[in-house]
Amino acid sequence: MGKSTGKQEIRNKLLENGYPPLPLSGKACYIKGWSQADIDSDWLKSHARTADTDNTGIRCDDLVAFDIDVDSQRLADKVDHCIEKIAGRSNFCRWSGDTGRRLMLYWAETPGRKQRTAKYGAAAQLEVLSGSGCQFAAYGMHPKGHAYHWDDGPEPVKNGTADLPVVTDTQVTDILIAVEQLFIDHGLLKATDDHGSGASSAEYDLTPDMVFEVVKPSRAAGQYTVAELEVALAGGSTWNVNLTAFRPDSDSGAGLVSLDAHGRVFVHDLVTAVTHYQAPEVPAGLPDMQAPDDGNLFVPTPEDELQRLIAEYVYVWDGTVRLLADPSRTWRLERWNQAHKQRLPRGKANPPMYTLWLADCIKAAVAQLCPDTTDRLLERHGITVLNTYKPPAHDAKGGDTATFHAFLQHLVPDRIERALVLNWIATKLQHPEYRLHGILMVARGVFGTGRGTLVAVLNHLLGPQYCTETTLGHLTGGSGQAQYNDYMSQSLLVSVPEALEEKPKQGAWITRHQAYEQIKTCVDTTAVRTLIVRKGQDNTAEDIYASVLICTNHDDALVIPAHERRLIIVSNATVPLADVGQLADDVYTWMGDPANIAALYHELKQWDTSKYDPYGTAPDTAAKDIMISLGDSGPDEAWKIMLEQTDGDLITLAQWRSMALRIALEYELDWPEQYNQEKVLRVVFRKNSQGLWPNQPRRQLAAGKARVRPRIIRNPGHWLGNQNRDEIRSELVKNGPAGGEIIAFTPKDTEK
């Protein structure tokens, strides 16, 4: 848009093109409630004269804006290319000044939220703006004095939102991971907050020729440039330096200088609590690995030793080093360096060992479980993944499986349900990458039936490193830790081996219903890509392969719908395992022999699982029917009982109220006391009955001393539109007085 275009004209054009415009002061919107406002022409007009709002922004809502906050033109271009490689090219590009900073605009497949990478260096970060709480400056002047401008071609005032390319949540997550890796690959150090003063702890302002005076140790006292400090400091050493020359306005120049984990100099100012890092080049230049020719006595890094480490170890962007042959063996980079630095001696002219190793080592964006392959390094979602899965080795010979099958016959007495359990286990062994239906085992009030023993056998079969135990409260949301689901990561099996939860209390129908809603997300066979939430750590999107086995001692532990499709529910034994002769001792003795586990593993690897569809609807079982029947709420159960005990086809709200309250007391039904009872009764009444005169919902009928609106509970074909008042009154009387009866219903009554 030309400079002569007025701000109101720009905003109206944006609104016409489908973008929600905002009046901005600089880069911020100070209008109260802007994030939730219904932005239309009247709203824009009411704020047209708001002071100091010369700039125009766009609220993100269903947009996704990749804000590349990178000053370096070369590095910003790489971030731009990374976004394009994963999500495709967007020609909607807004620039800010003459640096590399720019913003790429997309349309969100689903409404998003604000996300960002960590900040690296003085100016290297990617922000993802999406959702109604986010906005960006689209037109006007940057606070530093330069104008925002768009590439030649499409832009919001010229093109509607239909012209924007679409980006998915998965692509956004992959972009953030890939850009983090890009920053690390370029030698950038993550900026963090100083935990003492709150001051910034990453001002990347050191240059190679900057001079510092070393005070301690005395053997090293003297003047050093940053370049000389990089060579002179041994890994892990810290020297005291005088910072007066560096910070002349200070009364005290006390500071510390050392090398960080990446081999770069950093100086910590003890007075201001600010850390100054050596400014990295982009891309980071690699040190010269040639031996010096000045006759010094230090031995250069042995090439063969370095190449061996490069071939054997992988650096993961989270700051860990993993053994390529066994990725479960993990070190933090600093500890790995300490363990190997003596094997790679370095001298004055040689850089730190890990600098050499990091330059050429194998790098992976993430280390994740990928049980569908035995390949160690994979390309998944546009990034390099280190596969942590290693198939179990069950090579012992001479075992048998008879004891296990005897144990399983005790644990799951029903033949059909037992076949389902075997098919489930066999499918998991044959296809560990499948997320199977959840298995819910119910032992009605009996503890010690052997479910924990079954979990132990599964640990042996799948590998204990891929099996995680948790609590039922954690899965169902009844625990304070329920928001965290990191137990799903790196697992093939998540189990609750013996649930010792109490029987749900009266009035807990909502709690049991919410427990099911929580569990069904954990056993959704289609949800492979899952957001993993860890306590105190960043959330990450991962491919999840965990199948869930839950044990409970109550048929009514969950409220599940009639057509539930995610859970296989089976009944367990009615007597403890310890009371069945020598079976308990036999099965534990059997489990202790690797040959028996190997025999069962190979038997189930060959098992015919054709009758089990892991991605279809979970098979119905007798145990499932029982749990469904016990899942009705108190009002729903009262309605069923009322239908059984009445004859009349018509009913009034007053009749239903008096019947429902009496039935709730008589049958001790689970009643939602935390809600207004009158509201609950009305909702159930309207849900289960039909209007006698649907086209005249307010029409009433005189019945005795009451004026009522009858509802139909049976034979709607006969009663819909029926105008015979005498017949209607006669039918109503069958269910008691049309005005109902007054029933006292208090919390005290429910305790009787």
The two tokens of residue 486 are 């990191």
Which residue range is the domain that position 65 belongs to?
Answer: 7-165
The two tokens of residue 422 are 């075997």
Same domain, 347 and 414: no
Q: What is the 3-state secondary structure (H, E, C) of 369-408?
A: CCCCCCCCEEEECCEEEEECCCCCCCCCCCCCCHHHHHHH
Q: Is the pLDDT of residue 745 over 50?
A: no
Phi-psi region of 231 (alpha: psi -120 to 50; beta: other; left: phi over 0): alpha
Q: Tokens 């990178």 belong to which residue?
A: 70
| DSSP code string of 295-307 | --SPPPPPHHHHH
The mean pLDDT of 604-615, rounded to a whole number, is 91
Q: What is the CATH number of the domain that holds 433?
A: 3.40.50
Same domain, 271 and 129: no
Domain-embedded: residue 293: no
Same domain, 411 and 438: yes
Query: What is the residue-averaged pLDDT of the chain?
Result: 78
The mean pLDDT of 90-105, rounded to a whole number, is 88
Domain-embedded: residue 172: no
Domain-embedded: residue 672: yes
Q: What is the 3-state secondary structure (H, E, C) of 587-605?
A: HHHHHCCHHHHHHHHHHHH
- DSSP assigned state of 705: T
Domain-embedded: residue 729: yes
Same domain, 506 and 548: yes
Same domain, 625 and 658: no
The mean pLDDT of 725-742, rounded to a whole number, is 84
| Cα–Cα distance, 331 to 357 (Å, whole number) | 15
Domain-embedded: residue 296: no
The helix (H) or strand (E) run that includes residue 82 is helix 73-87
Which residue type is seen at 492? L
Same domain, 488 and 624: yes
Domain stops at, among 278, 294, 318? 278
The mean pLDDT of 596-617, rounded to a whole number, is 91
| DSSP code string of 468-537 | EE--HHHHHT-STTTT--GGGTT-SEEEE-S--PPPPPTT-HHHHHHHHHHHHHHS-TT--EEEE--TTS
The mean pLDDT of 542-551, rounded to a whole number, is 85
Domain-embedded: residue 196: no
% the chain with pLDDT above 70 = 76
Domain-embedded: residue 264: yes
Ranking 469-473, 540-544, 598-602, 748-752 by mean pLDDT, the lowest is 748-752
Domain stops at, among 278, 311, 332? 278
Same domain, 671 and 610: no
Give the tens place of pLDDT for each residue, 519-538: 666 777 666 777 777 766 77
Beta bridge partners of 366: 385
- Number of structural domains, the chain? 5
Same domain, 352 and 406: no
Q: Could you tell me which residue, 253 or 10, shows the higher pLDDT?
A: 10
Same domain, 326 and 238: no
Same domain, 133 and 55: yes
| Cα–Cα distance, 162 to 449 (Å, whole number) | 60
Same domain, 731 and 639: yes
What is the layout of strands, in order, in the sheet containing 211-216? 203-206, 275-278, 265-269, 254-259, 238-242, 211-216, 222-225
Domain-embedded: residue 382: yes
Q: Could you tell me which residue, 66 or 151, shows the higher pLDDT?
A: 66
Using DSSP, state whether 204 is helix, strand or coil: strand
Q: Is the pLDDT of residue 198 over 50?
A: no
Ranking 135-139, 245-249, 400-404 by mean pLDDT, the lowest is 245-249
Domain stops at, among 629, 662, 694? 629
The mean pLDDT of 236-258, rounded to a whole number, is 74
Give the tens place of pLDDT for each residue, 272-294: 666 776 654 433 332 222 223 33
Same domain, 618 and 691: no
Q: Please report the sign of the dihedral spanned by the C-alpha atoms of residue 265, residue 271, residue 273, residue 274.
A: negative
